[in-house]
Amino acid sequence: MRKLAILLALTAASPAFAASGPFFSLHNTNFIVLMAFILFILVLMKFKVPGMLGGMLDKRSEGIQSELDEARALREEAQTILASYERKQKEVQEQADRIVEHAKSEAATAAELAKEDLKSSIARRLAAAEDQIKSAQDGAVKEVRDQAITIAIGAAKDVIAKQMTAAQGNKLIEDAIADVDAKLH
């Protein structure tokens, strides 16, 4: 039925009707060309060329469809990998932020410790300086006292030497010897 419809369509649109003379004659070239064309179409149908062409087109269509499916799967996989990397990048960024915050807090703690150490060091140095000042002051007072004693002894010696006679000096020496003798026994 299908073959007949094709044959009728080919003959109805044929330029053979425009030729002069009997159409179904072997001398009419249009008739010969029409017969060769119909024979060619029948040979193609006999060897199932349209089916092979359809099969080849179906196979090509299946190949294209499989490539599209594979591309779709690769796209989904790429989106999954991209989402995974974005998630990892976000986690790494959060970790980096935590590390920075931790470092800032440690730096603040270290600064506070340094301030406390500096305060205690200053306090120790002030205490040491005050001790040195007190020691120097005590030393100066002792030195002034020693000088005053030396000067007083010298002045007393001069005064006693001027007022004392040799007999009084001997009596003082004997009293001092007796006093030392009493203290030792």
- Cβ atoms of 52 and 17 within 8 Å: the answer is no
pTM over 0.75? The answer is: no
- One-character DSSP codes across 138-176: HHHHHHHHHHHHHHHHHHHHHHHHHH--HHHHHHHHHHH
Query: How large is the average pLDDT for residues 104-115?
Result: 93
The pair of structure tokens assigned to 50 is: 């349209």
Under a CB-based contact definition with an 8 Å cutoff, are residues 66 and 57 in contact?
A: no
State the pLDDT confidence band at 8, using cuts at 50, 70 and 90. low
d(CA 131, CA 146): 22
Contact (Cβ atoms closer than 8 angstroms) between residue 17 and residue 23: yes
With cut-offs at 50, 70 and 90, classify the pLDDT of residue 80: very high
pLDDT of 166 higher than 70: yes
Residue 81: pLDDT band with limits 50, 70, 90: very high
| pLDDT beyond 90 at 70 | yes
**Residues 40 and 50 sit within 8 Å (Cβ to Cβ):** no
Domains in the chain: boundaries: 74-177
Both structure tokens of 131? 């001790």
Confidence of residue 15 (pLDDT cuts 50, 70, 90): low
Residue 29 has, within 13 A of its CA and on its CB side, a CA count of: 0
Q: What's the mean pLDDT when you consider all of the chain?
A: 85
